[in-house]
Structure 1
Amino acid sequence: MTIPAPSPAAELNTDQRFQTLFEQAPFSVQLLSVDGRTLRVNQAWKDLWGTHEGDPLLEFVLSEYNMLTDPQLEVKGVTAHLRRAFAGEPVRLPAIHYDPAELGKPGSARWVEATARPIKGPDGNVVEVMLIHEDVTDRLLADRALRASEAQFRTIADAMPQMVWSTLPDGYHDYYNRQWYEFTGAPQGSTDGEAWNGMFHPEDQPRAWEVWRHSLGTGDPYEIEYRLRHRSGEYRWVLGRALPVRNEQGLIVRWMGTCTDIHEQKEARDELLANNRRKDDFLAMLAHELRNPLAPISTAAQLLKAASDDPARVARSAAIVERQVRHMTELVDDLLDVSRVTRGLVELERRPVEIKGVLGSAIEQVRPLIEARGHQLTTRMPSGDVHVLGDRTRLVQVVSNLLNNAAKYTAPNGGLSVSLAVGEAVEVRVADTGIGIEPQLLPHVFDLFTQGERTPDRGQGGLGLGLALVKSLVELHGGRVTGESQGPGRGSTFAVTLPLMKAGTSTTSDPDEVIQMPRASQALRVMVVDDNKDAAETLGMLLESLGHAARVMHEPAQALAAVQLSSFDAFVLDIGLPGIDGFTLARRLRAHPNGSAATFIALTGYGGADDRTRGNDAGFNHYLVKPADMGELARMLQQA
C-alpha cells in the first residue's frame, strides 16, 4: 500500500496550525538559531517583555541580538547553559533577575526562569533551540517571604525558654526548637514522627498517647503533665500544651505546641500538699492525744465527788489525775521544745561533755519503760573517755528520745542496743527489733508532723515530734542523724554523728560550778522592764544584791514616765512587752536626755538572727536570750 505524499495544501495547513499554536501558546516561546540569534517569538514572549510589533526592542532582538555573545548573560551564568542546549541537551536555566532599566522599559523588576530544548533535524543535529520562559516573580517573592517568616519564627522559637514543637495535621512531628534538643540531648531529627513518645517516662506514655489522640480527633487543645527524659538520664516533669492552627476554611493545617519544665514547681507543690496532709494528720493526732488523758481526769473528778468519804478511792483518783496531768505536760513540753528549737530560740551551753556519761544518763531516764516492757538492753562502749563539745542536757535529751522511741515501738520482750564508736567523729547508734519503718516513710521520719500510720491497737501515744527535735538538736551541735530500717517488722537503727572534740582542748568541766557574778565596783541606776512580774522582781533583787540600785517596771508606759523624772545608767528590757515592744521602747528611752548615755541590754526569749539584727538597729548594746547567764549580765553592767 502506497501512502500518498502530502499535498501543498496539507503542508500549508500544517504550517498554519503550527503558527497558530506557536502564537497562542500560554507561555513565552523564543526560537534561536544555532548561532544564538532569535528567529521567532510568540505573543506571550512579547507580553512578558512588554514589547510589540514595531518596537525597537523587538526589532533589536530579532535582528542584531545574539544570546551567546551577550556579556550580561555570560555574567549571570545563562550562556553556559545555552551552549549545553545547543549541544543537544535539554537544560533548565536558573532564575534570572531582569531590571526594566536594562531593557529600556517601564515597570517593576522581575524574575524569569527558562527551559532550553534543542530541536533536531533528521540527521540528529541541532537545528534550533526553543526557549520557554516563565515569570516566577510572585512565586520567588512568596518563597522568600516564607523563608523570612520561617527564619523569624525559628529565631523567636529558639529564644523562648520553653521547648517548642510542631506537627502536621495528622500529628506527625516535624519541628523542634533548640531548647528541645538541649533539654533531651537527642540527636537532631531523631524524635521526628512518633519517636517523641519514647522520650516520656514509660508509666506516662499510654496516657500521653490517649490525650494526644483525643486532641487530634477532636481538635481540642492538648494539655498534660508528664515526665520527660532529660539529657542527664533522669526524668523531669514538664507541662505539655498544643493548639491547632486552622486555615480560612477552619481546617487544621498544623499543631503548635510547647513543653515547659515544671519539675521544681511540681515537687514543691507535691511537698506542700504532703506537708498539709501531715499537718492535718498531726492535728487530728494531737486532738486524740489530748483527749485521752482528759477522759480519766474527768472520770476521776466524778469519783472524787461521789466518793469523797472513801480515802482509798480519793487517793487512787488523785494519782490518776497526777499521772494524766504529767502526761499532758509532757505533750505540751514537746510542742514548746520543738517550736523553740526549730525557730532558733535555743542557744546551747557549749562545754566539754563526756559522751559515755550522756549515754548512761539517757539509759537511766528510759530504764523504767524498758523494764516495764521486758526489753533486753545491750550496750557496747570503747574504753576510755570520749569528749564532744556541746550541751550535756540537750545531748541526753537526744539519746533518751531515740531510746524511748525504740522501747515504745518494740513489742514486749524485744531487744534494744546502744553502741558508741569513735573514729574521725563520734557515732552513737540506737537499734531495736521493733515494728520497723515503711520505706516510703523513712525519708520523712525527721520531718515535723510525720509519724507512722496509727491503728486502733497502737497505744504508745506521742505526737511524733521526737525525731524532729532530735534532728534539730543534733544539727545545732554540728552533727547529723540518720535512720535505717529493712521494713515493717524488721526493726530500726538511728545513728547520731557528732564532731569529736579536738585534741588539746581542755576537758575539765563542772556542770555544777557556781556562776561567778562580780559585785559592782560602782553602783549603777538600773531600770528593769519585764511584764513577767516574777522574772522582773527576782532580777531586780539580784541586781540589788550585787550593789546596784534597781527600778522594776512591768509596762512600757511606766518606764517612759520614770525616765522623765530620773536618769539611769542602764536598762534591761524584755522584748515581748504589752503595748509597744522592747525595740520601740529602747529607741524612746534613748531619745530622752536621762537615757541617752545609758547601756541598753535586751533580755528576752526571742533569739533568732533577725531578732538580734533588730536589737542592733534599736540601739541595744547587748542581747541576751533567756535563760541567760546572770554572771554575763553582771559583767556587762560592770563594764558599763
Structure 2
Amino acid sequence: MTRPSKSDRPGAPPASRVEPDSADSPEPLSAPSTGDLDDLLRVVDNPILILDRHLRIRCVSAAAQRQLELGSADAGRSIGDVALPFAVPDLGAALRVVVDTAEPFECEVQDRAQRWHVLRATACVGTDGATGSVVLTLTDVDALKRTRQALAETEARFIMLADSAPVLIWVMDLHEVRHANRAYREWIGVTDATLSREEWMHFIHPEDRDQYLALYRECYARREAFETQFRLLRRDGAYRWMKSAATPRTTEIGELLGYAGCSFDIDDLKQAETVLREADDTKNRFLAVLAHELRTPLAAIANAVHVLSMPEPAGDLHGVARAILARQTANMSRLVDDLVDFSRVTHGLVRLRQERIDLLDVIRHAVAATHAGREAQGVELVLRLPDGPVWINGDAMRLEQILSNLLGNAAKFSHRGGHIWLEVAHETGTLDGGAHRHVVAVRVRDDGTGIDPAMLERIFEPFTQIDPHGATARLGMGLGLALTRQLVELHGGRIRAVSEAVGRGSRFTVRLPALPPDARETASGGAIERVDTMRVLVVDDNADAADSLRLALGLYAFDIDVAYDGRSALAFADRHQPQIVLLDITLPDIAGWDVARTLREDPRFAHTLIVAISGLGSADDRRRSEEAGIDRHLTKPVNIDELKDLIDAWRAARRSA
C-alpha cells in the first residue's frame, strides 16, 4: 500500500514542478511527484523557488504558493515578471550575478504586512562547473529583526543615559573594558571605549593597584559585587580619589560574563575628611596643652593659698605667696587673652582700630613691656632704629602685641648672656605682588637656640611647641606665633622666620605697608611732657574690683573717683566732668552701654575717653560697646600696664590734636 502524499491531505496545496524541454518552450506545471524533492517542497515551512539558469520558475514549495500567491499560471515565467509581495530593486540583475559567479546573494525584505524576511539566492553548480539552477528561499526573521531593533534601541538609550551621567560608567567582560561612557573617556583622555584590563590598570595609582586587583579577584572568584576606593589618573596628570562600585554580569545559568559598574570622584570628600581629622588632632592637642597650662598656675595658686591660710610664719612667706598669686594670676590672664584673641582672629571677628601712628613708639612700648623677661635671662637688646619717625596705618595695640611676642620669644629661647637685635628699615617693593608701595621691615634676631629648618613653617601653626632638640616643649600654649602671623596679615603684611640650624639663632622679619614719604612728617622732638592730672571715674558694682583698680591707678597720680552703679556714675559725671571713664557693663541698675550712650549724647563728653572693663568679651559684646560710643573694650582681669599705656596714648593724641 502506498503512503498518501501530504498534498492529498485537506488544505495542503500541491507542490508544483516545471520540466521545460528547452529554454524557449516552457512546459505546464507537472503533476505532484512522489519523489523526495516533492515531499520536501510540500513539508518545508519556508517559501522555496527553484529557477533555471535563465531565471524561469521551475518549481515552488507549497509555502511559496501560499505566501507568494503563485499558481500554475506562473510556471515557466521569468522571476522578473512575477508580482512578488515584496520589492527588491534590480532582483533580476542580482540573480544573474549569482548564475554567472555562483556567489550567493542575500538581502532583507519586508512584505505587505510589514514583516521582515531574508531573501537568499544560492546557485546549484553542475559537474561541469556551470550553474544549472538557482534556489530562492524566503526566511521569516521578523521576530529576530524586531528583537535586534529593540536591543539596539535599548543599547542606544543606555549609551545616551550613561553619556549624560556625571559619573564614570563602564562595562567589563572577563578581559577588557567593553564600554566606557563619555565621562570615563574624557576623564582618562581616550577616544576608544575599549581598554584591556592591563591598559586600564595603568590609570590606577601604583600604590593602589595591588589592593584593587586583590579585591577584584576575590569578588570574581565568589561572583560577588565589590566596592572600593582608589586613586585614578586624570588626563591632566593628577590622581584623584574615586569610589567604585560594580555588580557581576551573569548568564541565565549563572556563568560570569564580567562586571558593570560606576566610579565617582570623592577627592574633595577625602580632603574634607583629612581636614576634619587634622582639626580633631588639633583639638586634642589643644585640650592636652590647655590642661597642662592651666594645671601649672593652678598648682602654684593652690600652694600660695595654702600658705596664706596658715598663721603668719617666720620670714615673709606671706609676701612670697602674694607675689606667686600675682604672677600666676597674670599668667592665667594672658592665657585666656591668647585663647580669646586667637579665636576672634581665626573667625574674622577682630576689627583693627587703624590710625596714623609712629611705629617707633610702638616698638618702644613693646621693648618696655618685655624688659622683665630679658632681665631674668640676662639678655642684652640692641636697637637699630631710624632717626626719624616711621609712619604707618595700624592698630597700635595689636602691633605692640606682635612685637612683644617676637621679643618675648627671642628672650625665652636665648642663652643667659645672649643678645637680641631689633632693626627697622625702610624698603621699596611689593607685598604679595601688589602695586608698588613703601614697605617697612622689622627684624628681630637672636643668637639663641635656633629652630630646626624643617620646622620653620610649622611654628606658625596653632599649638605647635617645638624645643631646640625636636621634643615637645612646655613653653606656653603654642598660640603666640600663630596669632602673630594672623595679626600681621590683618595689617596687610607678611612674617617670615629664618634659622640656619639648631643652635645658630633665628631671625623673624615682619614686613608692613608704610605710608609714602609725604605722609612721614617729622614728629615733634623730645619726650611727652606731663599734662595736668587727669580725673578718672571708675564705675563697677563690685566694690573690691572698683577699689583695687583705684589703688592701682592711684600709683600714676590720677585723680580717681568711684561709682558703684550707673545712676551714681551719671550724677558724678554731670557734676565733675571726668576726662576718663572706666566702665563696667553689668551694673545693677542700668547697663554700662546705656551709661556710655547717655554720656555721648552730652556735648561735654564728646571727647571723653570711655573704656569698658568687663567680664563680657564676645564679639557681640564688643560690637555693642562700639555702638554705644565706648572707645575700647577690655576684659577682666585688666592688665594695669596695658590700661596705663592706653591712657598715655590717648593723652598724647589729645595733646597733639
- When the two structures are superposed, what TM-score results if normalisation uses the length of structure 1? 0.70
Q: Which one of 148, 151, 155 corresponds to residue 146 of structure 1? A: 151
Looking at structure 2, the residues matched to 162 and 410 of structure 1 have their Cα atoms a distance apart, in angstroms, of 58
Give the match for residue 241 of structure 1.
Answer: 245
Check conservation: 2:611, 2:632, Cα contact below 8 A: yes
Q: Could you say what secondary structure the match of 2:357 adopts?
A: strand
Q: Which one of 150, 163, 174 corresponds to residue 158 of structure 1? A: 163
Q: CA deviation at 1:313?
A: 3.4
Q: Taking structure 1 as reference, are residues 372 and 610 closer, same or farther at Cα in structure 2, changes over 3 Å only?
A: closer
Check conservation: 1:529, 1:573, Cα contact below 8 A: no
Q: Taking structure 1 as reference, are residues 282 and 554 closer, same or farther at Cα in structure 2, changes over 3 Å only?
A: closer
Check conservation: 1:307, 1:314, Cα contact below 8 A: no
Q: CA deviation at 1:530?
A: 11
Give the match for residue 405 of structure 1.
Answer: 409
Give the match for residue 29 of structure 1.
Answer: 48
User: Is residue 2:368 matched to residue 1:394?
Assistant: no
Q: CA deviation at 1:225?
A: 2.0
Cα deviations across residues 81-119 of structure 1 (Å, max 9, x unaligned)?
A: 33321222413422222223xxxxxxxx32112332222
Give the match for residue 138 of structure 2.
Answer: 133
Structure having greater relative contact order (Cα 8 Å, sep ≥ 6): 1
Q: Which one of 68, 77, 88 corresponds to residue 101 of structure 2? A: 88
Looking at structure 2, the residues matched to 71 and 21 of structure 1 have their Cα atoms a distance apart, in angstroms, of 22
Amino acid of the residue matched to residue 119 of structure 2? A
Q: CA deviation at 1:126?
A: 2.5
Q: Return 62-71 or 201-210, whichever deviates more.
A: 62-71
- Equivalences for residues 372-391 of structure 1 within 5 A: 372-373=376-377, 385-391=389-395
Looking at structure 1, the residues matched to 529 and 134 of structure 2 have their Cα atoms a distance apart, in angstroms, of 120
Aligned residues: 546
Looking at structure 2, the residues matched to 312 and 79 of structure 1 have their Cα atoms a distance apart, in angstroms, of 132
Q: Return 277-286 or 448-457, whichever deviates more.
A: 448-457
Q: Taking structure 1 as reference, are residues 559 and 316 closer, same or farther at Cα in structure 2, changes over 3 Å only?
A: closer
Looking at structure 1, the residues matched to 233 and 278 of structure 2 have their Cα atoms a distance apart, in angstroms, of 25
Q: CA deviation at 1:352?
A: 2.5
Kindly report the root-mean-square deviation, in angstroms, between the aligned alpha carbons of the 2 structures: 4.7
Q: Taking structure 1 as reference, are residues 345 and 271 closer, same or farther at Cα in structure 2, changes over 3 Å only?
A: closer
Q: Return 344-353 or 367-376, whichever deviates more.
A: 367-376
Give the match for residue 291 of structure 1.
Answer: 295
Q: Return 69-78 or 400-409, whichever deviates more.
A: 69-78
- Equivalences for residues 180-191 of structure 1 within 5 A: 180-189=184-193, 191=195
Q: Which one of 310, 334, 337 corresponds to residue 330 of structure 1? A: 334
Give the match for residue 172 of structure 2.
Answer: 167
Q: Taking structure 1 as reference, are residues 225 and 625 closer, same or farther at Cα in structure 2, changes over 3 Å only?
A: farther
Give the match for residue 347 of structure 1.
Answer: 351
Which blocks of at least 5 consecutive residues in structure 2 are unaligned?
1-32, 430-438, 532-538, 547-562, 598-609, 635-645, 648-657
Amino acid of the residue matched to residue 492 of structure 2? G
Give the match for residue 488 of structure 2.
Answer: 474
Check conservation: 1:430, 1:495, Cα contact below 8 A: yes
Give the match for residue 70 of structure 2.
Answer: 57
Check conservation: 1:162, 1:260, Cα contact below 8 A: yes
Give the match for residue 436 of structure 1.
Answer: 451
Check conservation: 1:409, 1:460, Cα contact below 8 A: no
Amino acid of the residue matched to residue 402 of structure 2? V
User: Is residue 2:88 matched to residue 1:67?
Assistant: no
Give the match for residue 524 of structure 1.
Answer: none
Check conservation: 1:420, 1:426, Cα contact below 8 A: yes
Looking at structure 2, the residues matched to 190 and 535 of structure 1 have their Cα atoms a distance apart, in angstroms, of 84
Check conservation: 1:78, 1:93, Cα contact below 8 A: no
Amino acid of the residue matched to residue 41 of structure 1? V
Cα deviations across residues 308-359 of structure 1 (Å, max 9, x unaligned)?
A: 3312433333333333333222212222332344445543232223335544
Q: Taking structure 1 as reference, are residues 63 and 453 closer, same or farther at Cα in structure 2, changes over 3 Å only?
A: farther
Cα deviations across residues 131-186 of structure 1 (Å, max 9, x unaligned)?
A: 23332222221111111111111121122222112212x36322221112233334
Give the match for residue 269 of structure 2.
Answer: 265
Q: Taking structure 1 as reference, are residues 45 and 203 closer, same or farther at Cα in structure 2, changes over 3 Å only?
A: same
Give the match for residue 98 of structure 1.
Answer: 111
Q: Taking structure 1 as reference, are residues 625 and 339 closer, same or farther at Cα in structure 2, changes over 3 Å only?
A: farther
Q: Could you say what secondary structure the match of 1:57 adopts?
A: coil
Q: Which one of 198, 201, 204 corresponds to residue 200 of structure 1? A: 204
Give the match for residue 320 of structure 1.
Answer: 324
Check conservation: 2:116, 2:141, Cα contact below 8 A: yes
Give the match for residue 229 of structure 1.
Answer: 233
User: Is residue 2:519 matched to residue 1:497?
Assistant: no
Amino acid of the residue matched to residue 85 of structure 1? V
Check conservation: 2:124, 2:134, Cα contact below 8 A: yes
Q: Taking structure 1 as reference, are residues 603 and 383 closer, same or farther at Cα in structure 2, changes over 3 Å only?
A: closer
- Give me the identity figure in percent: 29
Q: Could you say what secondary structure the match of 1:389 adopts?
A: strand
Q: Taking structure 1 as reference, are residues 435 and 272 closer, same or farther at Cα in structure 2, changes over 3 Å only?
A: farther
Amino acid of the residue matched to residue 159 of structure 1? S
Q: CA deviation at 1:450?
A: 4.6
Q: CA deviation at 1:120?
A: 2.9
User: Is residue 2:270 matched to residue 1:256?
Assistant: no
Give the match for residue 58 of structure 2.
Answer: 39
Give the match for residue 117 of structure 1.
Answer: 122
Q: Which one of 627, 633, 636 corresponds to residue 627 of structure 1? A: 633
Q: CA deviation at 1:486?
A: 7.4
Amino acid of the residue matched to residue 36 of structure 1? L
Q: Taking structure 1 as reference, are residues 458 and 233 closer, same or farther at Cα in structure 2, changes over 3 Å only?
A: closer
